[in-house]
């Protein structure tokens, strides 16, 4: 059963059909002027009626006339639907209120004009529906609360982001890009490479290839600009368009061409020194507003250390990022970049000296290893007292991952090492420092770091 056409459904269509209607009225008026005009020549008799009156009012009040036109178009469509269902209707011109169609149909002599107007309504109603058809469903991309998948290039068909030949993002694509922007904004350690591809197989010097390259480049830059406006640092974004395809599917089929017309967003971890902005990113998931506390679980006991994120924000950001796995680092044994893996888990205190300090954080266990980068000191008005948590280094600007905790006061180290925390369990520090060791101050039985976690003091 065909549903009835409501007035509200075609109201906007009627307004948009006024221009079409006026063209039809002009053409029809020239051919049927004598047939439509009554025989009387009085002013009252020559006054336009029915659809001709509606056309005249359209010039003065097009919005109202469009709604009236849409109402009449809806009535006629309802009448046609009723006839198809087998209903017996009275001739046109009789009242049809009781049958739920309309208050009154136009006079029979205006029937041809009525059909033309109904065509205009139908045309105006069809075009908005065609333009408003929903785009293909957006592809699913792995997005979590804190980050997107690293070293993965999700592929998005370009026709879900852009209209054909256009470089302006569709409104329907914004929720997907918003989700990616939110995830990237929470993880400042990643870089984003935006690559737009086409299904063009023409030579590089072909005019079509040049057009596709320019179109792809502009589309990639449009996505780059959108992400930059929504919280992703511009320095992390790069965009590139391709004039020739790098096919991922058969380019001879429609489905294959659609798969090849794609935009890839490669999220890559970046091994680099820490900066101040990393502190907020790495500690965002830690609840509370109190002092930042690090809990270092070892094979000999647990240390609780207050971190000085106000005095040494870069060093604290580095320590938290490595301990939680949020900061990428380079494995010195394999040269591979490690992402999402806590750095300190399983490492040992490779150097212990009684009545002095314990030192750890070297993935090689020799005192020469690190995360693959170095950064400068943050020297504040702090001194080395018992329980001081500080960075080990080989001179200015050589901080990496190694740290030490003092057992006693070590004033000769002041202004040479970055102090970024204070530990409570000094007796545990002395216990670890007193374990049997070899001539290189390496413990004979390894003292390992099981895990480092973080919380805020109440």
Catalytic site residues?
351, 356, 359, 393, 404, 413, 417
Cα separation, 182 vs 163, in Å, equals: 25
Question: Radius of gyration (Cα) for the chain, nearest Å?
Answer: 37
* Residue 443 near residue 353 (C-beta atoms within 8 A): no
Cα separation, 384 vs 415, in Å, equals 9
Token code pair at residue 231: 């919280």
d(CA 456, CA 16): 61
**Rounded CA separation 316/311 (Å):** 9
3-state secondary structure of 418: coil
The answer to whether residues 264 and 154 touch, using CB atoms and an 8 Å cutoff, is: yes
Query: Is the separation of the CB atoms in 58 and 65 below 8 Å?
Result: yes
Cα separation, 218 vs 198, in Å, equals 13
The tokens of 323 are what? 């301990």
- Copy the structure tokens of residue 1: 């059963």
What stretches of 85-169 adopt beta strand conformation (E)?
A: 155-157
Phi first, then psi, for residue 295 (nearest 5°) are -110, 110
Phi, psi (5° rounding) for residue 438?
Answer: -90, -170
Task: Catalogue the E-assigned strands of 233-353.
Answer: 237-241, 262-269, 292-298, 301-307, 329-330, 337-338, 351-353
Total Cβ atoms within 10 A of residue 458: 7
β-strand partners of 267: 152, 192
């Amino acid at each position: 059963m065909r549903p009835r056409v409501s007035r509200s459904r075609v109201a906007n269509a009627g307004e948009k059909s006024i221009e079409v209607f006026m063209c039809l009225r002009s053409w029809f008026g020239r051919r049927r002027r004598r047939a439509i005009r009554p025989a009387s020549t009085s002013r009252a008799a020559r006054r336009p009626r029915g659809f001709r009156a509606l056309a005249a009012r359209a010039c003065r009040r097009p919005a109202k006339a469009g709604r009236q036109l849409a109402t009449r178009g809806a009535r006629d469509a309802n009448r046609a639907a009723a006839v198809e269902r087998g209903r017996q209707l009275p001739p046109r011109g009789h009242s049809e209120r009781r049958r739920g169609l309309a208050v009154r149909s136009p006079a029979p002599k205006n029937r041809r004009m009525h059909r033309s107007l109904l065509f205009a309504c139908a045309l105006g109603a069809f075009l908005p529906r065609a333009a408003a058809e929903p785009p293909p469903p957006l592809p699913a991309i792995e997005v979590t609360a804190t980050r997107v998948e690293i070293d993965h290039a999700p592929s998005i068909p370009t026709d879900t982001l852009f209209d054909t030949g256009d470089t302006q993002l569709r409104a329907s694509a914004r929720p997907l890009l918003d989700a990616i922007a939110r995830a990237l904004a929470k993880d400042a350690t990643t870089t984003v490479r935006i690559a737009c591809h086409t299904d063009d197989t023409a030579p590089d010097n072909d005019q079509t290839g040049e057009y596709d390259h320019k179109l792809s480049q502009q589309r990639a830059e449009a996505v780059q600009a959108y992400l930059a406006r929504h919280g992703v640092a511009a320095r992390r974004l790069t965009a590139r368009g391709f004039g020739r395809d790098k096919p991922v599917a058969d380019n001879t089929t429609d489905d294959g061409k659609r798969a090849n017309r794609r935009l890839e967003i490669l999220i890559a971890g970046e091994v680099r020194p820490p900066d101040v902005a990393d502190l907020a990113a790495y500690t965002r998931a830690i609840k509370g507003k109190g002092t930042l506390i690090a809990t270092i679980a070892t094979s000999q006991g647990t240390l609780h250390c207050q971190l000085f994120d106000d005095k040494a924000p870069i060093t604290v950001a580095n320590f938290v990022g490595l301990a939680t796995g949020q900061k990428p680092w380079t494995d010195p044994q394999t040269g591979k970049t490690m992402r999402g893996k806590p750095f300190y888990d399983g490492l040992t205190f490779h150097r212990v000296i009684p009545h002095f300090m314990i030192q750890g954080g070297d993935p090689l266990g020799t005192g020469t290893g690190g995360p693959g980068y170095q950064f400068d000191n943050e020297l504040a008005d702090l001194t080395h007292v018992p329980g001081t948590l500080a960075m080990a280094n080989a001179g200015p600007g050589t901080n990496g991952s190694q740290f030490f905790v003092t057992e006693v006061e070590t004033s000769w180290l002041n202004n040479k090492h970055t102090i970024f925390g204070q530990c409570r369990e000094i007796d545990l520090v002395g216990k670890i420092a007193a374990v049997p060791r070899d001539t290189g101050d390496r413990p004979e039985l390894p003292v390992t770091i099981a895990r480092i976690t973080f919380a805020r003091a109440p």
